[in-house]
Amino acid sequence: MKKTKELKIADGSQFFTIKETAKILGIEPSSIRNYLSWGKMTAYKFKSLTLISNEEIERWKEIQK
């Protein structure tokens, strides 16, 4: 089940695109998309963008250790 929340305002310092998130985590963007579709990662929608919070990225960094 997808976990997607709607954003009214996006703060660029707290949210990252799928491509940026993949680069930060050292994985492929397709992996991020899979995690999102499987409900393992939470995303936010802002207009047409799918964004990942810095908080979620930090959570994934802990999982990868």
- E strand or H helix at 20, and its extent? helix 18-25
How many other β-carbons are positioned within 10 Å of the β-carbon of residue 61?
A: 12
Place 64 in a pLDDT band, splitting at 50, 70 and 90.
confident
Beta bridge partners of 42: 3
Domains annotated for the chain, with CATH where assigned, are: 3-7+15-64 (1.10.1660)
One-letter amino acid for residue 27 of the chain: I
User: Position of tokens 């310092």?
Assistant: 13
Place 34 in a pLDDT band, splitting at 50, 70 and 90.
very high
User: pLDDT digit string (tens) for 8-33?
Assistant: 665 656 999 999 999 999 999 999 99
Measure Cα distances from 58 to 8, 46, 47, 52, 65 in Å: 23, 21, 24, 11, 11
Chain-wide mean pLDDT for the chain?
87
Six token digits for residue 8: 């009214």
Question: What is the percentage of the chain residues whose pLDDT exceeds 90?
Answer: 65
